[in-house]
Amino acid sequence: MSAPIGVVGGGAWGTALAQVAAGAGHAVRLWAREADVVAGINDIRENAAFLPGIELSRAIEATQDWSALADARAILIVTPAQHMRAVLGHLRDHTAPLILCSKGIEAGTLLPLHEVARQAVPGAPIAVLSGPTFAHEVAAGLPTAVTLAAEDADLAADLAALVAQPTFRPYASTDVIGAEIGGAVKNVLAIACGVVDGAGLGQNARAALIARGFAEMTRFGLARGARAETLAGLSGLGDLVLTSSSTSSRNFSLGRGIGAGTPAAALLENRRTVAEGAHTAPVLREAAAQASVDMPITEAVCALLEGAPVTATIDRLLSRPLRTEA
Ligand SMILES: NC(=O)C1=CN([C@@H]2O[C@H](COP(=O)(O)OP(=O)(O)OC[C@H]3O[C@@H](n4cnc5c(N)ncnc54)[C@H](O)[C@@H]3O)[C@@H](O)[C@H]2O)C=CC1
Ligand SMILES: O=C(CO)COP(=O)(O)O
């Protein structure tokens, strides 16, 4: 039997990706933080806390023991973005490729996650997997496609082949920063689209917001070295279209609640699942200011998360001076 695939993170997405890797024929070791998640996967083949209702493959072995990942041929990293550096500290001496599947930018350093991983695990080649992928659909075997990016084109192609299935199609890329920025920014834009929905502003407004949001993503991405075609691909526009129009998105749902009048703080209090956009928004605002990129939608989302009134925030966005579209 060949070496197993490792997965770090027993949330919805880590569990769904473990199911994908098992479906591609691999033994899978899934490191999870919660004892109840480990017991549920090993004993009744279900992650009831984060991915209920999906029967998990017997090829997945859950563990809380880091040494179980020692012989992994590749490790998928699927923790919330702001915990990634701490979690990677446990893998410091690993040399197997790490595939980062989280979406965000590190607070404080403003670093994209592949640079965090490079610092934390200096001997490991780094790749990024990102795209339109609601965990419950992927785990149920419904089809999708993702971007799998690594600076080394051969590594990207090898890792894509490692996890591919007919219903899970990775497209290899060498644009690592592009794949990361799309996923991070779309979560913030999904909150904004949820606000428009919750406030009852209509479908035209949401379409306009998606288009102007994509312009915002593109400005920021290009300033940080991303390629335009990556931003217009699966990990950028593809994921933006998905999450900006569905209540299956935690970020969209958070925005919808805010738009309907519930304070953001109340919606964020005591949640067990992660809405990454709420963590990314203030970091993105700071990174945009540092790069001198105008991101009015991101600023509006930050204001709403900080408790600004919905109507006044939307009025401010709509009363910006008229400008050219380009
Ligand atoms: N759920 C989805 O459909 C998708 C999620 N992602 C990304 O994957 C990443 C993980 O999200 P999900 O699996 O959905 O999470 P989740 O919301 O299902 O579960 C929360 C996760 O956070 C972990 N966690 C909480 N506190 C922690 C700490 N102090 N240290 C380490 N881990 C901690 C929990 O162990 C659990 O794994 C996020 O960056 C998300 O944006 C990406 C694509 C799809
Ligand atoms: O990233 C996702 C789908 O690609 C999941 O979106 P949410 O985190 O908003 O649920």
Ligand 1: which of 51, 79, 270 to mutate, judged by most atoms within 8 Å of the beta carbon? 79
Q: Are 61 and 100 part of one and the same domain?
A: yes
| Phi, psi (degrees; rounded to nearest 5) at 25 | 100, 10
Task: Name the closest ligand to CA 186.
Answer: 2
Whether ligand 1 lies within 6 angstroms of the CB of 135 is answered as yes
**Is residue 132 within 8 Å of 242, Cβ to Cβ?**
yes
Nearest CA to ligand 1 atom 29: 83
Which residues participate in catalysis according to the annotation?
186
Q: What is the ipTM for the molecules in this complex?
A: 0.99
For 171-200, how does the pLDDT look when each residue is reduced to its tens digit (9 = 90+)?
999 999 999 999 999 999 999 999 999 999
Range of the structural domain that residue 260 is part of: 183-318
User: What's the CATH code of the domain at 16?
Assistant: 3.40.50.720
For 27-65, how does the pLDDT look when each residue is reduced to its tens digit (9 = 90+)?
999 999 999 999 999 999 999 999 999 999 999 999 999
Residue 324 lies in a domain: no
Q: Are 146 and 194 part of one and the same domain?
A: no
Q: Are 189 and 159 part of one and the same domain?
A: no
Residue 323 lies in a domain: no
> Which three-class secondary structure string do you get for 136-175?
HHHHCCCCEEEEEEECCHHHHHHHHHHHCECCEEEEEECC
User: How far is CA 5 from each of CA 9, 72, 226, 255, 285, rounded to the nearest angstrom?
Assistant: 13, 5, 29, 35, 36
**Is residue 304 within 8 Å of 251, Cβ to Cβ?**
no
Residue 326 lies in a domain: no
Q: Are 301 and 208 part of one and the same domain?
A: yes
Structure tokens belonging to residue 212: 């102007």
Whether ligand 2 lies within 6 angstroms of the CB of 132 is answered as yes
* CA dist., res. 62 & res. 305, Å (int): 35
Residue 238 DSSP symbol: I
- Please check if 249 is assigned to a binding site: yes
Hey, what amino acid is at 300? A
Domain boundary among 174, 200, 216: 174
Report the number of distinct structural domains present in the chain.
Answer: 2
- Please check if 212 is assigned to a binding site: no
- Give the model's pLDDT for residue 326: 81
Task: Name the closest ligand to CA 275.
Answer: 2
Residue 325 lies in a domain: no
Q: Are 119 and 235 part of one and the same domain?
A: no
**pLDDT one digit per residue (tens) for the chain, 326 residues:** 689 999 999 999 999 999 999 999 999 999 999 999 999 999 999 999 999 999 999 999 999 999 999 999 999 999 999 999 999 999 999 999 999 999 999 999 999 999 999 999 999 999 999 999 999 999 999 999 999 999 999 999 999 999 999 999 999 999 999 999 999 999 999 999 999 999 999 999 999 999 999 999 999 999 999 999 999 999 999 999 999 999 999 999 999 999 999 999 999 998 999 999 999 999 999 999 999 999 999 999 999 999 999 999 999 999 898 999 88
Nearest CA to ligand 2 atom 8: 250
- Please check if 13 is assigned to a binding site: yes
Nearest CA to ligand 1 atom 17: 273
Q: Are 30 and 163 part of one and the same domain?
A: yes
- Please check if 34 is assigned to a binding site: no
Q: Read off the pTM.
A: 0.98
Q: Are 306 and 189 part of one and the same domain?
A: yes
Task: Name the closest ligand to CA 280.
Answer: 1
How many A from CA of 1 to the centre of ligand 2?
Answer: 34
Whether ligand 1 lies within 6 angstroms of the CB of 133 is answered as yes
Domain boundary among 174, 191, 223: 174
